[in-house]
Amino acid sequence: MALRNILIHPDPRLKKQCTPVTEVNKEIERLANDMLETMYDAPGIGLAAPQVGVTQRLLVMDCMKEEGDTPRPMVLINPEVIWESEDRSIYDEGCLSIPDQYAEVERPAEVKVRWMGLDGKPVEEQFDALWATCVQHEIDHLNGTLFIDHLKPLKRQMITRKMVKLKKEIARGRG
């Protein structure tokens, strides 16, 4: 397993519609394991393949973030929301591609998702609470959408400007 570099917004690869995974092979297995290691190392509760520069429909997540929780690493290939609740919930979201910026985003409180596991078999599960927020945030990444795209334009521009500045500082070796 290896840590992968997490892309920082703005980056054209974070705005792409990702393509479905057609075959679960060793390369996909390695990508999923690397992404889990990268997510835990960050630390984060989710990570989508475009965030590590791979524009394919794969995400990892583990929302068991409280101390003493048993980890539940999940790998979702070609995930699709097949049902969403009318109830909404608001969560102060963050993103590993937009470091240190948080904002409230409203989303369906519960979603049912279908995906393919690493064994190639279809899986369906209903998510609520933080899991529901996280899986929707990660599926958004697979469609080239960032949580800031849910905000008012002025707030989005303000965050984007901060990220442009941060990337310049990183490039100059001061990040």
| Residues at the site binding ligand K1U, with contacts judged by CB under 6 A | 43-48, 65, 91, 93-97, 133-134, 137-138
**Catalytic annotation, pick one of 37, 106, 138, 169:** 138
- The span from the CA of 73 to the CA of 36, in Å, is 7
Q: Of 75 and 95, which has the nearer Cβ to Zn ion?
A: 95
91-110 footprint of Zn ion as x/- string (CB under 5 A):
----x---------------
Residue 148 as a binder of Zn ion (CB under 5 A): the answer is: no
Using alpha carbons, list the distances in angstroms from residue 60 to 53, 68, 119. Answer: 14, 21, 15
CA angle 31, 32, 36 (to 5 degrees): 115
Q: Of 78 and 101, which has the nearer Cβ to ligand K1U?
A: 101
**Biggest alpha carbon distance in the chain?**
47
The catalytic site residues sit at 138
